[in-house]
Structure 1
Amino acid sequence: MNVVSALGSVNWIAVLLAVVVYTVLGGVWFAGLFAKPYATALGRESTPKPTQPALFFGGPAVATLFVVTTTAALMSALGIETVVDAVVFALVVGIGYLAANTVIIAINPNMPRPLSYSLISGAYHLVGIVITALILVAF
């Protein structure tokens, strides 16, 4: 199957559901479960939480739509139809692209604790992509 055919076979209901779940997971992950360690990783543990513009909420959801759509197209092109294959695929993509890219982004002079940031954010993306792959294969 080529990429155009794979995009044409994407189940958009599954994509939208996965985007919602992945986005909600982000809110729970960063504002709930790991709020303090995340603030520490960013070097903001002693500063008050600033008011966030709409981009802070909408931007990640739009980017997640691209991640989930790409994941759906790749799963379709590769013929991934079983839960086991979906999990293996998600682990490869999650570790090889999402978590690794998080580390690349974190290692810069503006990130006070790049390894903590990488662990928190990389783990979020790994969990998010596994859930995404499971949703996509279920549909």
Structure 2
Amino acid sequence: MFDVLGDLNWLGILVGFIALTLLGGLWFAVLFPKAYNRSLGRDTNAKAPTTPLFLAGPPLTSLIITFTSAILFAALNIDAYGDALLFGLIVGFGYLTANTVTIAINPNFPRPLLYAAISGSYNIVGSLVVSTILLAI
């Protein structure tokens, strides 16, 4: 079932990875930076760190998420937009957002539900984008 590396859509993976990375930058730095900072207990005008881990980590995890989705896409033989969108919702909500909420519910997050709403909605939208791209390309 998972002997699908030869069936992967490598161009779709590349485009999906780039789209997910750009969406993350747009989501957290342009659309919701103040609310995101508030969810973390920071000053709302705080600037994001520019350490190598902060700059490389999100794109690396975006690549892993996109690659993993492509493997599951191929293994499940997803070839229709309805199935792609359902897959995106299942992965985005069922895995990525649920895990985000689990991470947020600890004493280190002063506003865990706000953090989960911002990051979780990014995960759902991102998963839908990646799934659509994997099918379209």
- TM-score range for the pair, normalised by the shorter chain length: over 0.9
Partner of 2:2: 3
- Give the distance between the partners of 1:34 and 1:104, measured in 2 at CA: 21
TM-score (norm 1): 0.94
The alpha-carbon distance between structure 1 residues 34 and 107, as it changes in their structure 2 partners (threshold 3 A), is same
Q: TM-score, normalised by structure 2?
A: 0.95
Give the Cα–Cα distance (whole angstroms) in 1 for the partners of residues 40 and 121 of structure 2.
Answer: 16
Q: Of the candidates 13, 16, 23, which is equivalent to residue 14 of structure 2?
A: 16
Once the two structures are aligned, what percentage of the paired residues are identical?
A: 47
| Amino acid in structure 2 at the alignment position of 1:45 | D
Q: Please list every run of 5 or more consecutive structure 2 residues that lacks an aligned counterpart in the other structure.
A: none
Matches within 5 A, 1:25-64: 25-45=23-43, 48-49=46-47, 51-64=49-62
Is residue 125 of structure 1 aligned with residue 123 of structure 2?
A: yes
- CA distance in 1 between counterparts of 2:98 and 2:58 reads 18
Identify the residue that residue 78 of structure 2 maps to in structure 1: 80
Q: Is the 8 A contact 2:34 2:44 kept in 1?
A: no
Could you list the runs of 4 or more consecutive aligned residues of structure 1 that deviate by over 4 angstroms after TM superposition? none
CA RMSD of aligned residues (A): 1.2
Return the letter of the residue paired with 1:81: D
Q: Give the distance between the partners of 2:49 and 2:68, measured in 1 at CA.
A: 32
Q: CA deviation at 1:11?
A: 1.3
Please give the secondary structure, in 1, of the residue aligned with 2:29. Answer: helix
CA deviation string 1:51-104 (max 9, x = no partner): 421221211111111111110110111110111110001101111000000000
Alpha-carbon distance in structure 2 between the residues aligned to 1:105 and 1:33: 22
Quote the Cα distance in structure 1 between the aligned partners of 2:79 and 2:48: 44
Q: Which of 64, 67, 79 pairs up with 1:66?
A: 64
2:61, 2:49 → 1: CA distance? 21
**CA offsets per residue over residues 13-63 of structure 1, 9 Å max, x none?**
110110110000000000010011000000002574254212212111111
